[in-house]
Amino acid sequence: MPKGWHLVHRGRNTGDLVIELRRGRHPSKQYQPASRSSVPVPEFLVDPHPVIDRLREQPSRLPESDENRSRTLLLLQALCLEAEKREWAVRSGTDALLSVVVDEQPLEVRVREEKGARWMLRLVLTVTDADTGVAEWKDYARKRLEDELPAVLTDLRQRGRRLRDRRDAAARAEQVRLQQERDRVVTAHRDQILRQQVAAWLLAEDIRSYCADLVNGGMPIDDPWLAWAHTYADDLDPLADPPGIPSDPPSSVAVATPRQQHVGRTASAAPPYQPWHPNRRWYHG
């Protein structure tokens, strides 16, 4: 049969038998279960993995029966070898028998022995992680735990990917949160400076208007008080030297959220006096 072709026939019971060679996959293939790859389990523990070698010297952590203790070591030996083929790290567990690290996510593997009238000495293998729950495989009459190792490996891979995706999503969400918090701090910092500039500009305009009213009221235009007031207004006025955008505050600085309050022409208090020009660009650096 040429590769990529299949045979179909019709008319075997009625009429002429027609056999056709068609391109593609046979339609019946979609109903056939996918073949499961087998994982070889050694008959004897020869050259054990370091984690398995340590477990062999800790019989209290293994099933009580001799047969299941040996089976457990052989099962875990096969699991360790397959994990390393996939470049997964295998470590000794604390509570679990071993820990498989998939995509930087530790997954715990446990094997226990069931006891009871019906399932006496049946082995149960579980895989757990810190987030997605427990998966479990057991011995059955028609399928032993050794036959479930491909499913165990598939579960380990899927769990590792899910946990990695959740970790990455959480990291991205944290980055968004930090950026939003940083934007809030920068906005509050600029709001504070802008309010100071607007207040200084309004006060300078009010001072000049007041001085004009004093002159209209009869004060000599060359009065020292008027001269000082005009000089002070010029020092306050941002328009005398238009400022650039202020530098952002350091990351460690906490700035209060700006209040949605309009700066009126009549301020509750004058801007704090500063011995330098408050609107030079270097002042905000």
Asked whether the predicted pLDDT for residue 205 surpasses 80, the reply is: yes
**Overall average pLDDT of the 36-43 stretch:** 80
Quick check: is 208 in a domain? yes
Residue 35's pLDDT band (boundaries 50, 70, 90)?
very low
pLDDT in tens, 120-179: 788 999 999 988 789 999 988 888 999 999 999 999 999 999 999 999 999 999 999 999
- The pLDDT assigned to 37 comes to 52
Q: Are residues 165 and 119 in the same domain?
A: yes
Asked whether the predicted pLDDT for residue 7 surpasses 70, the reply is: yes
Q: Are residues 102 and 158 in the same domain?
A: yes
Quick check: is 178 in a domain? no
Asked whether the predicted pLDDT for residue 221 surpasses 60, the reply is: yes
Backbone dihedral angles phi then psi of residue 31, each to the nearest 5 degrees:
-95, -5
Quick check: is 177 in a domain? no
Q: Are residues 142 and 73 in the same domain?
A: yes
Quick check: is 182 in a domain? no
Asked whether the predicted pLDDT for residue 34 surpasses 80, the reply is: no
- The pLDDT assigned to 267 comes to 47
Asked whether the predicted pLDDT for residue 95 surpasses 90, the reply is: no
pTM (2 d.p.): 0.61
Q: Which domain holds residue 260?
A: 191-284
CA distance 253 to 129: 39
Backbone dihedral angles phi then psi of residue 191, each to the nearest 5 degrees:
-60, -40
Quick check: is 184 in a domain? no
Closest to 77 measured CA to CA, from 107, 109, 51, 108: 51
Answer for the pair 240, 279: CB distance below 8 angstroms, yes or no.
Answer: yes
Closest to 279 measured CA to CA, from 199, 186, 173: 199
Q: Are residues 61 and 168 in the same domain?
A: yes
**Overall average pLDDT of the 24-51 stretch:** 75
Q: First CA to last CA across the chain, in angstroms? A: 80
- The pLDDT assigned to 86 comes to 94
Answer for the pair 125, 74: CB distance below 8 angstroms, yes or no.
Answer: no
Q: Are residues 134 and 239 in the same domain?
A: no
CA distance 141 to 121: 13
Answer for the pair 108, 96: CB distance below 8 angstroms, yes or no.
Answer: yes
The more confident residue out of 140 and 4 is 140
Q: Are residues 61 and 128 in the same domain?
A: yes
- The pLDDT assigned to 70 comes to 93
Q: Are residues 28 and 107 in the same domain?
A: no
Q: Are residues 216 and 161 in the same domain?
A: no
Quick check: is 4 in a domain? yes
Backbone dihedral angles phi then psi of residue 37, each to the nearest 5 degrees:
-70, 140
Q: Are residues 167 and 61 in the same domain?
A: yes
Structure tokens at 276: 């330098």
The lowest-confidence range among 29-33, 79-83, 197-201, 257-261 is: 29-33
CA distance 244 to 186: 15
One-letter identity of residue 67: E
Q: Are residues 276 and 204 in the same domain?
A: yes
Q: Are residues 143 and 203 in the same domain?
A: no
Quick check: is 232 in a domain? yes
- The pLDDT assigned to 29 comes to 61
Tally the domains of the chain: 3
Structure tokens at 267: 């301020």
Domain finish residue from 113, 139, 172: 172
Closest to 93 measured CA to CA, from 126, 64, 137: 126
Residue 20's pLDDT band (boundaries 50, 70, 90)?
confident
Average pLDDT value for the chain: 84
The more confident residue out of 64 and 25 is 64
- Residue 194: its H or E element: helix 149-216
Quick check: is 41 in a domain? no
Q: Are residues 78 and 165 in the same domain?
A: yes
- The pLDDT assigned to 116 comes to 67
How much of the chain, in percent, has pLDDT values that exceed 90?
59
Domain finish residue from 172, 201, 225: 172
